[in-house]
Structure 1
Amino acid sequence: MAQKEASMRFWGGLGNMLSLGFILSIVVAMGLSGWIALQEGTHRFMLPFTTENAVQRITDAVSVARAEPTLERLSGVSDELWALSLFSTAKRFTDSKLMEQGIYYATMPKSNQVAIAVHVLFSVFCVMFGGLQFWPAFRKRFMKVHRGIGAIYIATVPVAVVAALCYMALTPPHHIYDHLVAWVALWIFGVLALVSITMAIRALKARRIFEHQAWMALSFGCLLVAPLLRLDWALLVPFFPDIDQETLNLVTMGLMLPEVLLIVYGLVLVNRQYARPMKQRAAAAMADLGAALYLRSMPLIYGIAAALLAFNVMFYVVGHGMSSIEVASALVPAALIMREQSVLMAHPMIAAGFAVACGLAFPAAALTLKQCLSRADEAAGASRGATSLLTPWLALAAGISSCFLGWRMGLAPHNVWLSGGTMYTVNGLVIAGFGALLLMARSNRKQALMKESLVFLLCLLPFPALFFLTLQIVSWLHLPADYIAAGQGFVLPAGASGSLLFVAIIHVVYGQATREHN
């Protein structure tokens, strides 16, 4: 007994340290990002309004920086690029299309300039101080400051988001550095930010503080898309020093969706850890409705599971990924298709293991979640059944094999393979992570956390099918040739492969684990 208590104290202390480290890293990183955004907003984006020859000034600054790529020269173009160059070299950015993007900011229509300037200036406060709102110790000690920051946050975020959406409406995707995939993502996250703030206010008025915190975490996460993109450019350089900025940008776009939503989930987990557990809190109406719909849809879910298994076998055992689908050749560079095919052919057992593990983990997770949601099964100890033990191990196998295949695919400079194996690696890591979390929750008999992990797995495991389905849909859109050349025919479906994570985050907001702080 004493040994068990000591173990619990150890893991509890480790959890507290990790939580504090996570929150402080968010606070510091976003604080620095906000400060840099303030410099950009008051200098770069105000230049067209304060200087008559803004276009000439920025054009000359770009020419000087490219002729002599130093930190000092680059600071004349952008404070943001100067800061990013501290992690790599100025030449990485002077050789990139970010220079042309800077010139476009000075030459674009006045309405676009007003929209982006308003967006940047109004979002500075949210980014700089928003992270403090999720620091439990700060909130508890400085509640008045917390409420003051929250009031300003709620007043400024809608203005910043609406300004960003106006800019997106006025700007064609090819005039955005991150192109079509960013244009689509920014619309989604922008609308979601407005919805989540509205829902957070409603939850606060109803005194559902646990829901309020979760919705605010989602709203804050939606605002992190642009800062995280820049941070990823800096943080990934040491891992891929030979990859140019344009290729690295495609990699970061592949990371963006799961990264943002996992940060949201992390913020919710941290705040749960410091809250008093509530065992008798009634379920939200939305949670009851979701559970009822899920249980009634089990025949359909099992049908989807059978289709996913057949799909995986067809594309990864019988076939070889994208080379098995005709539309891929029109949207994806031949070099990337051949690279994926060569990796799958070189490792047939791992490819087959990935296909089967993914295909079997989905129905196993679906059945385990059904058992957890059924009161009769719950009373009988559904969390200790054989299926509940098999599910996390299948998820771990699927995640690890996916990581292996993605890592073997690798990256190549100059967009030869676009984002390469990023889709497999990122989704694999997240699947393996939630498989491990499910295993831990099962061993600790944490039913609420088990349900949450299972929902994440059900949203992640179909990623190969979602990728190929979106690839087919994109082929019907008849993208312009320059969009396809920029890699959008592949990067957009790759990003969409994790789109069901939005469903998992809604479960986090309304689920038992958030409601009862477990």
Structure 2
Amino acid sequence: MRMQTRPSALGLNLIWIIFALGIAFYAFMAMEAGKHTLPSSYDESYVAIYDSVEAKGNAGVPYADVAEETQQAYPYWNNFMAGITGTYFGFGSNGTTDPTRYYASMTDPQKSVLSLHMFLGGACIILGIFQFWPGFRKSYRKAHRAIGGTYILAAYTMIFASIYHLLHTGVADTFQGFTFYIQLWFLVISTLVTQTLAIYFIKKRNFALHFGFQLYTFVAFINAPIQRLDWIIFGSIYPHLTHGEVNNLVNILTFWQSLLVGYLIFAWNRAASPVRSKPIAIIPPSRPLSVAVTVLTAMGVISAVAQYMIFPGLGSWSVASSIVPASTLAADLALFDGKTLQNIIFTAAICTAMVSGVWLMIRDEKSTHARNAFYSSSLLAGVFQIYWGLQLGEPSMAVTSGGGFYLVSGISMIAFPSIALLFQYLGREHLWHEVMVFASNFAFAPVILLWMHALWYALDVIPPQYLDVGHGYILAAGGAILGPTFTGFFLLFNSRETRSRQIS
């Protein structure tokens, strides 16, 4: 049976093929790294090579001068990245030589399990290319189900291999320490839960939820190649920074990017499904939900007024100053100190965006005044944040992640409302509502930044040595970005536009 492709879909299929080739290339590099990690691949002479190459990397020696050594002792991926970004970023201190050296020191069982994890991760990425390609999925049903079974088995095995590795590695031997350790545990647990939910909902014949939760596992897997791509891009832009410094920014960016890619994949597959013959019922939010969201909005407005106008700067808040380095606090204070008018305008804009966005979501989504207020205030708040992000600059250790949080939050506060306005203009109200979930959630991101600092302060789990290099700020900023993104992504599975399609 041949796949039938409409001319209008050719462009999307071409984009998918290019994307698939990119992530498949990474998948094969991951498998090669897994082969390199096997006990049988280890040579004791590699230890001396790691020390030599790291020293040469710190000195900025050209890649060609170390290639013979590195191609022998390092996986292909490390060589590929260093060949593009340079040896200081690729092999120098605070970079990938540290985990490579640790992998060489692991016991044989640990090496075998990590190798299995890498092989299966690459396999899941390759299998997912076919599973989430609408043309293939619809035209080859038997193959889709067979690949799906293999994918699920590989995913569970890889998850438990990850758990074994994390339990035997610990924080100290994890690349970048506590922040990355927490991120890896989050990926493992969330993938385990969503993979199980995907199986549950296919048994319930709820194809939309099955597809959505199954897609999340793929998003978790492609997080790895997207992270590596970010490393290469930012390592090329900032060749004078260490890999670890750049990774502070990448930790904030990567899962936001991965979830948005997942959103596009879901929307593409959904658009390939027929529209239901009967209009769907639009159910207003329940009273408990409306009350909860109203209370949250009031808290957001109070927090914004206090955080950006009355006591501007994270250093004014003990929950932040206790877990954020002084250099980061100083950089943050410079954004607001002595800029009263700026702070008043931003506070008014972000409060207007929160209130009007929530009003549209739980009270009256047809209100022209609320829509216009939301679009204009979000645009203004987004511009301010992008400006602040550029002021904070590169992701040096002094400011932990540089302007990463404000750039991502600002771009989101401009992009999502703009897309919602486009759907409004096109008369696509279901899609307008879906995108507005993302847009209205991101109106809360600046105050969530403070709330997340309070959360990590209350948990009191970050080791002191990681507080000193800004891991508290990175985790808070990452949570402030992921909170709105996750909410929009998971509500997508049961949105009005999704329910209006006959997904199978």
Bin of the TM-score, shorter chain as denominator length = 0.7 to 0.9
User: Equivalent of 1:317, from 306, 309, 313?
Assistant: 309
Q: Which runs of 5+ in 2 are unaligned?
A: 1-5
Please give the residue correspondences for 1:114-513 in structure 2 after superposition, counting only pairs within 5 Å.
114-278=112-276, 280=278, 292-293=285-286, 295-345=287-337, 348-371=340-363, 382-383=365-366, 385-411=368-394, 413=396, 415-476=397-458, 477=460, 479-500=462-483, 501-513=485-497
Look up the match of 1:73: 69
Look up the match of 1:32: 25
Q: Using a 3 Å threshold, how does the CA distance of structure 1 residues 274 and 423 change in structure 2: closer, same or farther? A: same
Contact 1:64 1:73 in 2 (8 A): no
User: Equivalent of 2:40, from 12, 34, 50?
Assistant: 50
Residues 25-61 of structure 1, C-alpha deviations (whole Å, 9 max, x = no match) = 4312210110001101112x10xx215xx36233122
- Paired with 2:245 and 2:161, the residues of 1 have a C-alpha distance of 29
Residues 72-103 of structure 1, C-alpha deviations (whole Å, 9 max, x = no match) = 43223221111212321133222133212111
Q: Does 1:60 align with 2:48?
A: yes
Report the Cα offset of residue 112 of structure 1: 3.3
Instruction: Identify which range, 401-410 or 102-111, moves more after superposition.
Output: 102-111
Residues 184-212 of structure 1, C-alpha deviations (whole Å, 9 max, x = no match) = 22222222222222222333334433333
- Paired with 2:277 and 2:84, the residues of 1 have a C-alpha distance of 48
Please give the residue correspondences for 1:94-109 in structure 2 after superposition, counting only pairs within 5 Å.
94-97=91-94, 98-109=96-107
- Paired with 1:425 and 1:326, the residues of 2 have a C-alpha distance of 25
- Paired with 1:187 and 1:255, the residues of 2 have a C-alpha distance of 18
- Paired with 1:440 and 1:267, the residues of 2 have a C-alpha distance of 20
- Paired with 1:100 and 1:431, the residues of 2 have a C-alpha distance of 37
- Paired with 2:399 and 2:10, the residues of 1 have a C-alpha distance of 39
Instruction: Identify which range, 246-255 or 431-440, moves more after superposition.
Output: 431-440
Contact 1:449 1:513 in 2 (8 A): yes
Report the Cα offset of residue 156 of structure 1: 0.7
CA RMSD of aligned residues (A): 2.7
Report the Cα offset of residue 297 of structure 1: 3.2
Q: What's the secondary structure of 2:226's corresponding residue? A: helix
Q: Using a 3 Å threshold, how does the CA distance of structure 1 residues 248 and 113 change in structure 2: closer, same or farther? A: same
Q: What's the secondary structure of 2:165's corresponding residue? A: helix
- Paired with 2:399 and 2:100, the residues of 1 have a C-alpha distance of 26
Q: Using a 3 Å threshold, how does the CA distance of structure 1 residues 33 and 155 change in structure 2: closer, same or farther? A: same
Report the Cα offset of residue 222 of structure 1: 1.4
Residue 153 of structure 2 aligns with an amino acid whose one-letter code is: A
Q: Does 1:23 align with 2:19?
A: no
Q: Using a 3 Å threshold, how does the CA distance of structure 1 residues 94 and 55 change in structure 2: closer, same or farther? A: same
Look up the match of 1:8: none
Q: Using a 3 Å threshold, how does the CA distance of structure 1 residues 346 and 238 change in structure 2: closer, same or farther? A: farther
Contact 2:314 2:332 in 1 (8 A): yes
Q: Using a 3 Å threshold, how does the CA distance of structure 1 residues 95 and 208 change in structure 2: closer, same or farther? A: same
Report the Cα offset of residue 161 of structure 1: 1.1
Q: Using a 3 Å threshold, how does the CA distance of structure 1 residues 151 and 357 change in structure 2: closer, same or farther? A: same
Instruction: Identify which range, 149-158 or 389-398, moves more after superposition.
Output: 389-398
Contact 2:219 2:262 in 1 (8 A): yes
Identity of aligned residues (%): 20
Q: Does 1:514 align with 2:503?
A: no
Q: What's the secondary structure of 1:276's corresponding residue? A: coil
Contact 2:273 2:501 in 1 (8 A): yes
Report the Cα offset of residue 489 of structure 1: 1.8
- Paired with 2:417 and 2:403, the residues of 1 have a C-alpha distance of 21
Instruction: Identify which range, 262-271 or 437-446, moves more after superposition.
Output: 437-446
Q: Using a 3 Å threshold, how does the CA distance of structure 1 residues 209 and 456 change in structure 2: closer, same or farther? A: same
Q: TM (normalized to structure 2)?
A: 0.88
Q: Using a 3 Å threshold, how does the CA distance of structure 1 residues 443 and 498 change in structure 2: closer, same or farther? A: same
* Matched length: 485
Q: Using a 3 Å threshold, how does the CA distance of structure 1 residues 106 and 275 change in structure 2: closer, same or farther? A: same
Residue 32 of structure 2 aligns with an amino acid whose one-letter code is: Q
Q: TM (normalized to structure 1)?
A: 0.86
Residue 456 of structure 2 aligns with an amino acid whose one-letter code is: V
Contact 1:456 1:504 in 2 (8 A): yes
Q: What's the secondary structure of 2:413's corresponding residue? A: helix
Q: Using a 3 Å threshold, how does the CA distance of structure 1 residues 279 and 241 change in structure 2: closer, same or farther? A: farther
Residue 290 of structure 2 aligns with an amino acid whose one-letter code is: M
Instruction: Identify which range, 305-314 or 478-487, moves more after superposition.
Output: 478-487
Residue 117 of structure 2 aligns with an amino acid whose one-letter code is: H
- Paired with 1:269 and 1:398, the residues of 2 have a C-alpha distance of 28
Report the Cα offset of residue 462 of structure 1: 1.8
Q: Does 1:41 align with 2:34?
A: yes
